[in-house]
Amino acid sequence: MNARLWANGEPVTVTCDEHGRPLAFHWGGRRYAVERVCNRWRVKGAWWKGETGEREYVKLATTGGLLCLLAHAWEEEAWVLVRVYD
């Protein structure tokens, strides 16, 4: 399996349900509906580097068959696309 990776992430707009589960996201002028969330996890910043933020990562599959990894930066309330698996 190959993957495209963006170290800083590609900005995306995410629509979530009342529990914070992504339902869809917009990237590159297209809307991608989420078929299923594969897994989710949170990572705290590296305190030894002065990073205090926390990110939630969500690996998901779209209805069109795209498998990708999104990250949500809690402090900035921003979502980014980190990786797309081919």
Question: Cα separation of 23 and 45, whole Å?
Answer: 26
* Alpha-carbon span 48 to 80, nearest angstrom: 24
- High-pLDDT (> 90) share of the chain, %: 65
- What is the C-alpha end-to-end distance of the chain, expressed in Å? 6
Q: What is the pLDDT of residues 21-47, one digit of tens each?
A: 999 999 999 999 999 999 999 988 766
40-79 pLDDT per residue, tens: 999 887 666 666 678 899 999 999 999 999 999 877 789 9
Neighbouring-strand partners of residue 71: 57, 80
Q: Which residues pair with 25 in a beta bridge?
A: 14, 32
Look at residues 17, 85, 19, 75 and name the one whose alpha carbon lies nearest to residue 51. Answer: 75
Tokens of 76: 């900035």
